[in-house]
Structure 1
Amino acid sequence: MTRLLSCLLAIALLIPVPVAAWGPLGHRLIAGLAWDGMTPEARAEALALLEGEDDPTLAGIANWADQLRAEDPDLGRRSARWHYVNIAEDDCHYIAARHCKGGNCVVEAINDQAAILADRSRPRAERLQALKFVVHFVGDVHQPLHAGHGHDKGGNTVQISIDDGSRDGRGSNLHALWDSGLLNSARLDEAQWLARLRTLPAPVHAPATGSAARWAEASCSAVIQPGFYPAGPKVGRRYMDQWRPVAEAQLRAGGQRLADMLNAALASSQGN
């Protein structure tokens, strides 16, 4: 039995495990902002694809890809590497042949799934799945640590102790802090966050095609800034107040860029 458990543990360690970006709240916020920026035609196409879902909204499907490990383990394993790309070791310059072998990274996953979504000759189920992936992965790529260092697994191995004034010494890691800790420390609900983010300037509209690599590079640029990695294990309000605006800007940009991508894919679908 001991030998069996050891073997199972070894196998588990070899299976890539997707890490959440922004947490459920952040992904829903990006989806909600994207809906604001979508054209009527793109909205209508999205709603047609979403018909029959438990929550037939972009926000309602925004976290689907993070739930695959439990709901569809095979697809969860196959898509595990699609949630991130490690480019910080190369000064945030994305090189597909080096950073995305076999197309298994968030950059190429966005491109591939957007192409499936845009192709109306494909079955509706495939396009719906692609929509779910696109909504989630565009959120992922705007979380800086999903385009960060490979040696620390996007900050997952950087252990920290959070002192946010509520529970001193709460153990966590840097990735989790960026997933949800920065947002939760503001103590706003989803509606309040949306109202706040809508006041921020949106990025300039740009062609969605080929943009995913630039989004990853821009996200990564935050990771290599001085102070992004805390000087010590204890992280308090000073760090959160300094870096929360960066997280907010990333969420705002992610929402607009997702809208641009969905407008391009859904309003000008191929295969007609």
Structure 2
Amino acid sequence: MRLPFLAAALAIGGALTLAGPAHAYGAYGHETIASIAMANVTPRTRAAVKRILKTSALLDTPTCHAATPQQASTWADCVRAIKDADGKSPWGHTAGWHYQDVEVCDPFEASLEAACKDGNCVSAQIERDVALLRDPATTPHDRVQALVFLIHFVGDLHQPLHAGEKHDKGGNDVAASYGIYASRRLNLHSVWDGQLAERAITSGPDMIHRYPAAERKSVAAGTVQDWSRESWQVARDTIYARIDGGDACASTPARLALDEATIEAWVPAARLQVERGGLRLAKELDAALG
């Protein structure tokens, strides 16, 4: 994600309580995606992930841990807060890897190509990390780094506002209230990162389990570009169309009041994106390590 935001837990029925700070897709969202993936990879892949993460000290980021898949899922956001002696971020060059500015009102392929120039977008980095993990010549340091980036970036790709936007930094420029909760720090992007993701994950049955083989195969079908297009379509048809009166390309208000009906309408899509992220991460891990 481009900026850290507060994540709030929303109880069933619409009551809101403020939670502690979280990073991209909310720590809860990323950790859930990682947990779904680990429940659905092969035993061989699961052992390989654990073996590689035992070398996470090679990353030399003592304030950002990556010893478990859940910790690894948020490592890529944590390191962006690290500063050197001059106050600069050694990880600043990775900022553009967390998203792709694919305009929802432009043709997908041309906009994706522009957004991914020189590989600086989330889908290109997913493919790069898988290639590094599959290459036996990759060094132990680069291998563990590729793994923690992959776990995080597959989650980021499935947050729709990391995959599609409308000249608004993926909704970061659109101030929003969430039901009765309003804050100057809250915007459309942060709602999908935190409050909505948490509500979706906690609505309905537990999402962390072994999915039937047919469902795993169906959800994980396609390529990274296919998944990019799908997330972009969710941004266009589910998010922007809803807030812009049915026309995703109409002018978006500078400030939104997200009522309970809108929140409820978005919950199934948000839940599905987390499920897709988990099962597709399992597919990528199996392809790289299984």
State the TM-score, normalized to the length of structure 2.
0.75
The structure in which a higher percent of residues are strand is 2
Question: What percent of counterpart residues are identical?
Answer: 33
Q: Name the counterpart of 1:24.
A: 27
Q: State the alpha-carbon separation in 2 of the partners of residues 21 and 154 from structure 1.
A: 13
Task: Identify which of 134, 138, 143 aligns with 1:122.
Answer: 138
Match of 2:100 among 85, 96, 105: 85
Change (3 A) 1:26 1:258: same
Match of 1:179 in 2: 193
CA RMSD of aligned residues (A): 3.0
| Corresponding residue of 2:75 | 64
Structure 2 letter corresponding to 1:128: V
1:217 to 217, 229, 239: 229
* Residue aligned with 1:120, SS: coil
1:154-192: CA deviation from partner (whole Å, max 9, x where unpaired): 0000111122xxx44344100000001113346949xx7
Residues of 2 paired with 1:226 and 1:246: CA distance?
8
SS at match of 1:169: strand
Q: CA deviation at 1:55?
A: 5.7
Alpha-carbon distance in 1 for matches of 2:37, 2:210:
12
Q: Would the alpha carbon gap of residues 256 and 155 (structure 1) be closer, same or farther in structure 2, given more than 3 Å must change? A: same
Residue 109 of structure 2 aligns to a residue whose secondary structure is coil
1:135–1:104 distance in 2 versus 1, CA, 3 Å: same
Q: TM-score, normalised by structure 1?
A: 0.79
Structure-to-structure mapping, 1:188-227, within 5 angstroms: 188=202, 193-195=206-208, 202=216, 204=218, 211-225=223-237
Q: Taking structure 1 as reference, are residues 246 and 28 closer, same or farther at Cα in structure 2, changes over 3 Å only?
A: same
Flag the 1:93–1:21 CA change in 2: closer, same or farther, 3 A: farther
Aligned length: 246
In 2: Cα distance, 1:187 partner to 1:133 partner? 22
Change (3 A) 1:39 1:96: same
Give yes or no for contact 1:198–1:252 (8 Å, CA) kept in 2.
no
Deviation at 1:195, TM superposition (A): 4.7
1:33 counterpart = 2:40: no
Please list the CA deviations of residues 6-33 of structure 1 after superposition, one character each: whole Å capped at 9, or x if unmatched. Answer: xxxxxxxxxx955654110000010000
In the TM superposition, residue 219 of structure 1 has moved relative to its aligned partner by 0.3
Q: Does 1:266 find its partner at 2:282?
A: no
| Structure 1 Cα separation of the partners of residues 42 and 134 of structure 2 | 15
DSSP-derived class of the 1:90 partner: coil
State the one-letter code of the partner of 1:220.
W
Greater percentage in helix: 1
| Unpaired segments ≥5 residues, structure 1 | 1-15, 268-272
Letter in 1 for 2:72: I
1:226 positional shift: 5.8
Identify if the C-alpha distance between structure 1 residues 224 and 46 changes in structure 2 by more than 3 Å, giving closer, same or farther: same
Distance in 1 between residues matched to 2:271 and 2:161, nearest whole Å: 15
Structure 2 stretches lacking a partner, 5+ long: 5-22, 57-64, 245-252
Q: Secondary structure at the match of 1:79?
A: helix
Which residue number corresponds to residue 156 of structure 1? 172
Equivalent AA in structure 1 for residue 99 of structure 2: Y
Give the alignment partner of residue 245 of structure 1, picking from 268, 275, 281. Answer: 268
Q: Give, in whole Å, the separation in 2 of the partners of 1:224 and 1:92.
A: 11
